[in-house]
Amino acid sequence: MTAEDRSETVDREAQSSQSDYPDQSVPIEAIYETMEDLGRPIITASELGRQLNCSQHEAETILDVYTTDKKLNTFDVSADPVVWYPSDLNAVAKRERIVLFPTRREIVVDQPTQYTRAQLSQFAHLVDSTGTDPGTRGYLYRIRPEDVWAAPFDDTESLLRSVRSVLPRQSPHLEEWITDQWERAHQFTLKTHPDGYVVLEAATENLMGNVARQKLSDEQLHAPISDTESWVRDEAIGTLKRTLYEAGYPVVDNRKLETGAPIEIELTATLRDYQQAWMDMFLTQKAGIYVGPPGSGKTIAALGTLTAIAGETLILVPSRELATQWRDEICTHTTVDPRNVGEYHGGEKDISPITIATYQTAGMDRHRHLFDSRKWGLIIYDECQHIPSNIFRRSADLQAVHRLGLSASPVREDEKEAEIFTLIGPPIGTDWAALMEAGFVAEPEIEIRYVPWRDEIKRNEYSSADGRQRYQLASMNPAKIDEVRYLLARNNSSKALIFVEYLDQGKAIADALSIPFLSGETPHYERQRLLSEFKTGETKTLVVSRIADEGLDLPNAELAIVASGLGGSRRQGTQRAGRTMRPAGSSIVYVLATRGTREEDFAQRQLRHLAGKGIKIREANISE
Ligand SMILES: Nc1ncnc2c1ncn2[C@@H]1O[C@H](COP(=O)(O)OP(=O)(O)OP(=O)(O)O)[C@@H](O)[C@H]1O
């Protein structure tokens, strides 16, 4: 229990009830002054109670009064005490404020400088943010073991220097924990013995004996070489990494990896600083996942990595359309001879020095030779947050190859985290807000528009339906068609994508507004035609179904209307909002949710998550 936490266990008896404001009419200025005195723009009820000589309960009542009239907000921190902060942080905060909650390993930052955010994104991750304009935004960061494990530093000292450079004061408790986690991530190392076989080395005899040899089977730990070294079979490396990761010991992989048969290739694009940083980190770790918002340049960074290794490369993508897009990108941004680039999927079966295959085809037994038909130096998993499990298994054996994942969605949210971390590698990401500020990614504005029911019949139908059906009825509320029509008319100069969850709803909107509808049922050639017409501007509006979430590299759109389906998964939400986050001017995402239904709750939860990425959110009520 640190001093700070002790200070928060208020001795309620000691609180005299002679409050300075007996009728609780505390002016908001008194609360702001208390925050100024505390040196930070947030406050707990117990602190206010001490300041005003009243009980914690009375202080909470006072704070709630100002929360109701929106002068104060509360931070959704993981546990007591709740913190209150001014809705308009300019009222108290003139400059950056950082508060550390050591035992919860949470850091509250207001108006962080670019430097602070850049440092924090190296050893913590953004959990939530509040406020709308960059100048008044508050951020809540949390430090988890995997954040320390993936921290891009050579030693504990340099990691702690970065931590100390942003925190208001040193916290021995926190530094001890960080050091422990850092050391855990450097207890086991995989290396290549001069005779060519793989060795697992533990930092101590005890770790080898009590952790590795306890948790790993004889198949995985083939034979002991010394008290701290064991011979490892190649095919067991994937599961060995995963087992030790789950035991809290991520393995440092220092093996000499294949680089594959060399290929003549150079990058013609110039990497941006953050892309160069991603690549440097990857080449050091030999594995990892570039995490960044859609349009942030992950593909180009991957091409830079490909040309740095310059060995035969297998690229796995979710759909044939993306395979074609990758081929175009490779031929546009590198000097490779196009004859050395092949596609392998339902459409064509060409295994070349650079082969782009779909997960679906690569996962089929009859195509398993794809993985060992060439000496691959690099495997790239595009949209790696949803690799099918059989691909995990199949390519997990290819541990002797550099492995690069690309993902726009927060990989940490994915239940497959351990698999992704051990099969591919740790996230190599950057702070989304920094990318938006740098202008590499257009920051979308998102507005939830609460749509009323079209009529009483629909409302009653919803009330008498059960769970899942209710969500579908709310999503398909016919009143949304008029709302889509209105929004298109209001933004008639923009190219617009209308996302739907349900095919019937997509058809209804497409028919009512005479707009093409692109769904899984659309034949491949028709899909290509619609996409290229949308890209050239011949078609300005498209209705798209779920297929558009991750399977297609949708062209730029300034306007996105999510008629239904943002409530699906966080990942989908990120992708949909992100589809308009391409670096093309300002972009806006309207999310339609039927008022007073579960859809409204879903939408709000989704958007809080996106707000945590530093994206501006607004709300609007549509009158009946
Ligand atoms: N270093 C760079 N130099 C020039 N253009 C770049 C660079 N990085 C990215 N771009 C351009 O920005 C756009 C988005 O880049 P890219 O496709 O790599 O992003 P992405 O993160 O892969 O997007 P998505 O997640 O949607 O696939 C592309 O038009 C690309 O050409």
The response to whether residue 294 sits with its C-beta less than 6 Å from ligand 1 reads yes
CATH at residue 515:
3.40.50.300
* 393-to-236, 300, 373, 422, 425 alpha-carbon distances in Å: 11, 27, 17, 12, 15
CA distance 487 to 474: 19
Residues 41-59: tens digit of each pLDDT: 678 888 888 888 888 888 8
The pLDDT value recorded for residue 574 is 54
Same domain, residue pair 103 and 84: no
Among protein residues, the one whose CA lies closest to atom 15 of ligand 1: 297
Q: Is residue 5 part of a domain?
A: no
Tally of domains within the chain: 5
**Does 526 share its domain with 409?**
no
Domain limit, last residue, from 137, 169, 184: 184
Mean pLDDT, rounded, of the chain: 80
CA 150 to CA 209: how far, in whole Å? 26
Q: Which of 76, 91, 106 is the last residue of a domain?
A: 91
Measure the CA angle with vertex 402, ends 397 and 403; round to 5°. 70
7 within a domain of the structure (yes/no):
no
Q: Which tokens hold the place of 585?
A: 């001017």
Give the end of a domain, one of 44, 76, 91. 91
Determine if ligand 1 sits within 6 Å of the CB of residue 613. Answer: no
Q: Are 154 and 197 in a shared domain?
A: no
pLDDT at 17 over 60: no
263 falls within a domain? no
Q: Work out the average pLDDT over 162-184.
A: 90
Helix H or strand E encompassing 434 = helix 432-437
Residue 81: predicted pLDDT: 63
H, E, C per residue of 592-622: EEECCCHHHHHHHHHHHHHHCCCCEEEEEEC
- Whether ligand 1 lies within 6 angstroms of the CB of 333 is answered as no
CATH number of the domain encompassing residue 55: 1.10.10.10
Asked if 117 and 223 sit in the same domain, the reply is: no
Residue 9 lies in a domain: no
Residues 364-408 have pLDDT tens digits of 888 878 877 888 899 999 988 777 777 766 776 666 689 999 987
pLDDT at 326: 95
Q: Which domain holds residue 81?
A: 18-91
Cβ(435) to ligand 1 under 6 A? no
pLDDT band per the 50, 70, 90 thresholds, residue 253:
confident
Whether residue 296 has its Cβ less than 6 Å from ligand 1 = yes
Helix (H) or strand (E) holding 411: none
Same domain for 204 and 147, yes or no, is: no
Least confident of 75-84, 473-482, 559-568: 75-84
Domain shared by 77 and 129, yes or no: no
**Residue 214 is part of a domain; what is its CATH number?**
3.30.70
Nearest-atom index, ligand 1, CA of 269? 3
Residues 422 and 534 in one domain: no
**From start to end of 131-276, where are the E strands?**
138-142, 188-192, 198-202, 221-224, 229-232, 252-254
User: Which atom in ligand 1 lies closest to the alpha carbon of residue 554?
Assistant: 26
Contact 183, 177 (CB under 8 A): no
| pLDDT value at residue 615 | 67
Domain-located, residue 258: no
Residue 318 CB less than 6 A away from ligand 1: no
In a domain, 438, yes or no: no
The token pair that represents 578 in the structure block: 């992100």
pLDDT above 90 for 330: yes
DSSP state of 622: P
Residues 517-528, mean pLDDT to the nearest whole number: 85
Measured distance CA(28)–CA(43) in Å, rounded:
13
Same domain, 503 and 584: yes
- Give yes or no for residue 454 CB within 6 A of ligand 1: no
Shared-domain flag, residues 536 and 564: yes
The pLDDT value given to residue 11: 31
pLDDT of residue 124 exceeding 80, the answer is yes
Through-space distance between the first and last CA atoms of the chain, rounded to whole angstroms:
54
Q: Report the separation in Å between the CA atom of 297 and the middle of ligand 1, taken as the mean of its atom positions.
A: 3
Q: Is the Cβ atom of 583 under 6 angstroms away from ligand 1?
A: yes
Residue-level pLDDT at 6: 28
Q: What angle do CA 127, 444, 325 make, to 5 degrees?
A: 100
Q: What's the ipTM?
A: 0.98
Residue 315 pLDDT class (50, 70, 90 cuts): very high
Q: Rounded to whole angstroms, how far apart are CA atoms 128 and 617?
A: 13
One domain for residues 367 and 319:
yes
Is the Cβ atom of 304 under 6 angstroms away from ligand 1?
no
Instruction: Specify the pLDDT at position 555.
Output: 57
Do 541 and 485 fall within a single domain?
yes
Q: Which of 28-42, 303-317, 531-545 has the lowest mean pLDDT?
A: 28-42
Domain contains 264: no
pTM recorded for the entire structure: 0.62
The stretch 178-185 carries a mean pLDDT of 93
State the closest ligand 1 atom to the C-alpha of 578, by its place in the atom list counted from 1.
Answer: 26
Interval 545-596: pLDDT, tens: 876 555 555 556 778 888 987 644 545 555 555 555 444 445 678 889 999 8
Please check whether residues 48 and 105 belong to one and the same domain.
no
If you ran DSSP here, which 8-state letter would residue 93 be given? -
Determine, yes or no, domain membership for 6: no
